[in-house]
Structure 1
Amino acid sequence: MKTGTRDKLRTVSTPTVATALFKRGFRVQAIQDVHPLSPDQPTLVGEAFTLRYMPAREDLNTLDVFRDRSHPQRKAIEDCPPGAVMVMDSRKDARAASAGAILVTRLMKRGVAGVVTDGGFRDSAEIAALGFPAYHHRPSAPTNLTLHQAIDINVPIGCGDAPVFPGDVILGDKDGVIVIPAHLADEIAAEAVEMTAYEDFVAERVHAGQGIFGLYPATDPKSLEDFAEWRKKNNR
């Protein structure tokens, strides 16, 4: 990402970014069925660092595996770069936890931007209280060892049916999480800022009682003239 792209993305919404991506033919970039653990958590922006789980094989997935410092789950927690977003492919299965409060706290203390799983977290109330951007499908009590086996770090994954490549840009807000292909992040951010300005103008007009024909989308040239005046007046 160019300098300033991260700040731009913090000012726009996932629906707006979804529209910008759709214009370019991207239809499956929204991570499905993930939700913020806290309604008050900050907007999530960062480059993806991934962890992939597979179905656990019992003889290879015992408590003893955590003695190994190269265990993929533990290693990913310590290797995820500051400012990045850890994104976990948990097979859309929340019956076992992708992680818990201790591991998520470690990510936060290391300066990671946030964490997303299409499975679930244990200790979800504790994680929600951290003020750290975290998204999952639903709370999960059991350890991941019961069903999942961490297998790959920083490889292409599927998370909630969305393709996530290492370095892709993740945006999460109260509506959900969307994945921006890395090579498009700067232009998507710039376009989304412009779209947001127009949407704010439209919202103000609709609240004032104006109809949407010609306004949204802006098929009436008068709408664009009014928008230009609104931008100047509101320093947008």
Structure 2
Amino acid sequence: MADENGIRDVLTPEIEAALMEVATATLTHQLQKRGIRTTFFAGLKPLNPGKRMVGRARTLRYVAVREDVQKDYSAGMNAQRSIVNSMTPGDVLVIEARGVPDAATIGDIYATRAFHLGCRGIVTDGALRDTPAIQALGHPVYHLASHGAVLGRQHMPFSADEPVSCAGVFVVPGDIVVGDGEGAVVIPADLVEEVVRDTVEQEDRESFAAERVAAGESFVGLFPLTDARMADYEAWKAARNGG
């Protein structure tokens, strides 16, 4: 199924609810088990660490400034303005900015517009401008740096809703982006259901192990969980679920 912008939408209420509860670290581990090693946005800081984020990726790509064509890419309803003004409920704006820390990729006015339209969060491997004002909006934002200069110092808006590389991660529009206080991770749309299933199971096992270790037991046999402790785990899980 695709949304009004033609972006694939694999989020169901059940998947979204599960993703709001699990850790990005666990999701990253599950993706690594499937051979996908680069899914966590490296080096980006959460602007509001207490906010969780789940949504489908919408993408914006900046390229380096070349002065003879800068007006062609920056004037009018450019890629940045177009993507911000086309946000829909459930979107996460992911910006490729080449890791440049000394020019803005978005400021408070455009961020306000995106969130007003239902954007769930912003991820940029560049800088924010008007950072305190964006933080005050109270939404999840992940960024490399803060800088007072406008984007034209380093960037030209080049394309929207095409695959990008952000903080070392390849992102396709429609991928699922999850954020917590540690950072943000991308889940390929085709893998969302199985990754969520196995992530919930992994976190259940880790909760059981953490509880037993906190009670004084050794982690041996508990983390990772071995067959010898599986019956104990299943009994714990049944009791917790009222079974």
TM-score by length of 1: 0.93
2:22 corresponds to 1:12: yes
Q: What residue in structure 1 maps to residue 34 of structure 2? A: 24
Q: Which of 27, 41, 56 is equivalent to 2:65? A: 56
CA distance in 1, matches of 2:74, 2:226: 61
2:191 corresponds to 1:184: yes
Say if 1:80 and 1:112, in contact at 8 Å, map to a contact too.
yes
Q: What residue in structure 2 maps to residue 35 of structure 1? A: 45
Residue identity opposite 2:176 in structure 1: V
CA distance in 1, matches of 2:60, 2:191: 23
CA distance in 2, matches of 1:80, 1:123: 20
Q: Which of 96, 102, 105 is equivalent to 1:98? A: 105
Determine helix, strand or coil for the equivalent of 1:163: strand
1:172 to 1:64, Cα distance in 2 relative to 1, 3 A: closer
CA distance in 2, matches of 1:23, 1:139: 34
Residue identity opposite 2:58 in structure 1: F
Alpha-carbon displacement from aligned partner over 1:136-168 (angstroms, at most 9, x marks no partner): 012121111100111010111100001101111
2:176 corresponds to 1:166: no
1:159 to 1:64, Cα distance in 2 relative to 1, 3 A: closer
CA distance in 2, matches of 1:194, 1:180: 17
Aligned length: 232
Q: Which of 227, 230, 235 is equivalent to 1:229? A: 235
CA distance in 2, matches of 1:61, 1:18: 38
- Which ranges in structure 1 are unaligned for 5 or more consecutive residues? none
Say if 1:62 and 1:145, in contact at 8 Å, map to a contact too.
no
CA distance in 1, matches of 2:172, 2:126: 18
Q: CA deviation at 1:75?
A: 0.6
CA distance in 2, matches of 1:134, 1:85: 10
Q: CA deviation at 1:61?
A: 2.9
Percentage of matched positions with identical amino acids: 37
Q: Which of 153, 165, 175 is equivalent to 2:160? A: 153
- Report matched runs for 1:73-88 at 5 Å: 73-88=80-95
CA distance in 1, matches of 2:91, 2:169: 18
CA distance in 2, matches of 1:176, 1:154: 22
2:134 corresponds to 1:127: yes
Alpha-carbon displacement from aligned partner over 1:168-202 (angstroms, at most 9, x marks no partner): 11011111111111100111111111111111111
Residue identity opposite 1:208 in structure 2: A
TM-score by length of 2: 0.91
Determine helix, strand or coil for the equivalent of 2:21: coil
Determine helix, strand or coil for the equivalent of 2:92: strand
Q: What residue in structure 1 maps to residue 7 of structure 2? A: none
CA distance in 1, matches of 2:86, 2:145: 25
CA distance in 1, matches of 2:217, 2:135: 40
CA distance in 1, matches of 2:42, 2:82: 26
Residue identity opposite 1:35 in structure 2: K
Q: CA deviation at 1:80?
A: 2.6
1:131 to 1:2, Cα distance in 2 relative to 1, 3 A: closer
Taking only aligned residues, the RMSD between alpha carbons, in angstroms, comes to: 1.7
CA distance in 2, matches of 1:58, 1:206: 61
1:127 to 1:2, Cα distance in 2 relative to 1, 3 A: closer
- Which ranges in structure 2 are unaligned for 5 or more consecutive residues? 1-9
